[in-house]
Chain A
């Protein structure tokens, strides 16, 4: 019995006691006795009495009765006077005959043998009346308990119904409970399922009509300071080492020696900040591992965990392998990092802690403000124009690539462009765009087409052309066509176009001295402060000049907004 129930039962006891006090008000002697009992009840064995009342078992009731009778005898032997109360007597007459325990009966016999008949008769009457009074008290206590339970049921019913709906995310109609917290059916969309059938297979019965999304840990969970880890490792020495490393890094660690226990712990305590699974862990502890058979239990455990929580961060511990690429895994688990040495663990944990998951990236995207979107778009447009291409669609392509690379980075094992959550998301995307545009530039440089080489063949007709490096396409002509279609220009042409573009920009601002010096500084790779210092511009003048350049160059007649596309 918990503390709350004890309190309730005790409350019932006192209510019953007060009723008894009122009932014996006209009988001062009995009233005094009842009053005296106020100190007795909690002092003797309150726990047993309360438990007996709540359990409502005949055996415990008998124990109470016996205890009460003993007490009454004790009181009687001290010569306390007692006169029967009519109500109490009436109640006593209505009670079934009580089985007197053997030792109690023996004691009564001994008592009778050693005393004269009159005092013995009086004692017997007194005991009977006391017993009846206590029985009455017991009944009142039971009634009070029953009332308490009903009231408790009524009070809890709405809360339980609300909680049920919250847990099933409103997939079921409101459940109607009786005062005893009973219910006959659970309804969903008008169709009712009998409640008693729920006990046959609750999961089947409670299968929602609409999918219930698994709650994902918020991005801040990891930084909350209470880190948790689950380690499923069959080798105790490795388990000890792993546990120690995790504990030193501030993790609260739970561990299991096999898959079954691991999944049980996960089901009970999920989510964890990280789950480390031994790649070769057996299904059950004690099962011998056959090294010549494919090790699938760790993989199956990982799948089971991901079914419960798709965003759970995991690590495979495969100490039998030299390199993570050697560890066979199904495609969907290729992004789970692999640990081939305990020395890597700390570094991997740190990365896991700050690498954003796909869900976190989605959240970050959803929370971008219009101003931030504008910054990203404009940044992309300028970067694309820096490659000699017009902005517009290509700018969107760059932003799209940056975002996709962040997504694949979140899935990949250290190779993609991962978002480190310590970095502002806009800064992360601009960084990704820098990298991608630079990659595009390198690719363009590496695929420079020298027209004179495009048709070189040997005597046997075998190609000698460096066009082998051009990329997709079965023949040199095809590769040339694809390369041009993708926007790769001959080197000379690209240089010419860039020269024309730079000259055009300078011409556009020939009457704007501040803009010209800013452009000059830009073209020389100078920073803001260097330009201001060299050309004696104030910050305000510099900012205003830069703004003029931006606005004019991104104007509709200058390739802004995807109006014109030249180059790629």
Chain B
């Protein structure tokens, strides 16, 4: 049976087992292994944390941009593409992208969502109509 599986499936299984083996290590063992490879665990943790915090901020900024214009994206459809993350407004379909560095762009940011009822209502109210 083992011979029938594809090569990429074999590779995936090996790597999955190695990934799981990492989770079974104690804190001391994983830190020792990291130090053994010449890296500083504290420094690496801070670097990764910083990158992730940037990503979180970038996502928040993108969402705020979209909300402000009445666009709505399905959060589970953020795609990690060639340049950062990509999504589309689920009402009007216009695209929006953001990078971890905080850059936000796309057609959705050019103007209010034409299908966004709430935005229209609020604009109407604010203009005194």
Q: Which residues of A contact B (CB under 8 A)?
A: 294, 296, 328-332, 334, 362, 365, 368-379, 382-383, 385-388, 396-397, 399-401, 403-405, 407-409, 411-412, 415-416, 426, 430, 441, 472, 482, 485-486, 494-496, 498-499, 501-502, 505, 519, 521-525, 546-547, 549-551, 553-555, 560-561
The interface residues of chain A lying within 8 Å CB-to-CB of B56 are 362, 403-404, 407
Q: What is the distance, in angstroms, from B47's C-beta to the closest C-beta of chain A?
A: 9
Q: Which residue of B lies closest to A331 (CB)?
A: B67
- Min CB–CB distance A22 → chain B (angstroms): 73
Residues A329 and B7 in contact in the complex (CB < 8 Å), given A373-B45, A404-B56, A551-B37: no
CA gap between A473 and B15 in the complex, in Å: 33
Q: Is the CB of A382 within 8 A of B118?
A: no
| Given contacts A399-B48, A404-B78, A387 and B72 within 8 Å (CB-CB) | no
Q: Is the beta-carbon distance between B22 and A382 smaller than 8 angstroms?
A: yes
Are A404 and B85 in contact, with the CB atoms below 8 A?
Answer: yes
In whole angstroms, how far apart are the Cα atoms of A485 and B48 in the complex? 25
Inter-subunit contact A388/B30 (CB<8 Å): no
8 more A-B residue pairs beyond the given contacts A331-B72, A374-B33, A550-B33, with a C-beta to C-beta distance below 8 A: A331-B119, A382-B15, A382-B18, A385-B15, A411-B63, A485-B82, A498-B7, A499-B7
| Known contacts A379-B22, A415-B75, A524-B2; is-contact A331 B118 (Cβ 8 Å) | yes
Interface residues, chain B, CB within 8 Å of chain A?
Answer: 2, 6-8, 10-19, 21-23, 25, 27-28, 30-31, 33-34, 36-37, 39, 41-42, 44-45, 48-49, 51-53, 55-56, 59, 63, 66-67, 70-72, 74-76, 78, 80-82, 85-86, 100, 116-119, 121-122
Q: Using Cβ atoms and an 8 Å threshold, which residues of chain A touch B45?
A: 368-370, 373-374
In the A-B complex, list the 4 residue pairs whose CB atoms are closest, starting with the nearest. A386-B15, A408-B75, A382-B19, A371-B27
State whether A486 touches B16 (Cβ < 8 A).
Answer: no
Q: How far does the alpha carbon of A522 sit from the alpha carbon of B51 in the complex, in Å? A: 32
Chain B hits for A502, CB < 8 A: 7, 10-11, 14
15 contacts between A and B (CB under 8 A): A331-B67, A331-B116, A373-B45, A374-B33, A386-B13, A387-B12, A399-B52, A400-B51, A404-B56, A404-B85, A409-B75, A416-B76, A486-B82, A547-B33, A549-B18
- Assuming the contacts A404-B85, A412-B76, A416-B76, asked whether A550 and B14 have C-beta atoms less than 8 A apart, the reply is no
Q: What separation, in Å, do the CA atoms of A397 and B121 have in the docked complex?
A: 39
Note all chain A residues with C-beta closer than 8 A to B31: 370-371, 374
Which A residues are CB-close (under 8 A) to B37? 551, 554-555, 560-561
Q: In the complex, are the beta carbons of B33 and A373 less than 8 A apart?
A: no
Q: Is the CB of A371 within 8 A of B30?
A: yes
Q: Are B14 and A505 in contact (CB under 8 A)?
A: yes
CB distance from B40 to the nearest CB of A (A): 9
Chain A residue at minimal CB-CB distance from B63: A411
* A388, B27: Cα distance in complex, Å: 28
B14 touching A403, Cβ below 8 Å: no
Which residues of B are found within 8 Å of A554, using beta-carbon distances?
37
User: A331-B72, A368-B45, A415-B74 are contacts. A400–B10 as well, Cβ < 8 Å?
Assistant: no
Do A331 and B41 have beta carbons less than 8 Å apart?
A: no
**Chain A residues positioned under 8 Å from B53 (CB to CB):** 365
* Cβ contacts under 8 Å, B81 to chain A: 472, 486
Assembled-state Cα–Cα distance A441/B8 (Å): 10
B6: which of A371, A372, A495 is its contact (CB, 8 Å)? A495
**Residue from B16, B17, B25 with most neighbouring chain A CB atoms (10 Å):** B17
Chain B residues lying within 8 Å of A330, measured Cβ to Cβ, are 67, 70, 118-119, 122
User: Could you tell me if A383 and B16 are in contact, using CB atoms closer than 8 angstroms?
Assistant: yes
- Per the bound structure, the CA–CA distance linking A482 and B82 in Å amounts to 8
Q: CB within 8 A of A374: which of B8, B44, B75, B82?
A: B44
Cα distance A411–B2 when bound, in Å?
Answer: 43
* Contact status of A550 and B13, CB under 8 A, knowing A329-B118, A374-B41, A555-B37: no
Residues of B within 8 A of A485 (CB): 82
- The reply to whether A525 and B13 contact each other, CB–CB distance below 8 Å, is yes
- Asked if A382 meets B121 with Cβ closer than 8 Å, knowing A331-B70, A375-B22, A404-B59, the reply is no
Q: How many Å lie between the Cα of A294 and that of B2 in the bound state?
A: 62
* Given A403-B52, A415-B76, residue A522 in contact with residue B17 (CB < 8 A): yes
Contact for B66 among A331, A405, A486, A505, CB less than 8 A: A331
Asked whether, in the complex, the Cβ of B48 is within 8 Å of the Cβ of A522, the reply is no
Chain B residues within an 8 Å CB radius of A362: 56
Could you tell me the distance between the alpha carbons of A499 and B6 in the complex, rounded to whole angstroms? 9
- Check B12 against A374 for contact (C-beta < 8 Å): no
> Which residues of B are found within 8 Å of A415, using beta-carbon distances?
74-76
Question: Chain A residues with Cβ under 8 A from B11's Cβ?
Answer: 385-386, 388, 498, 501-502
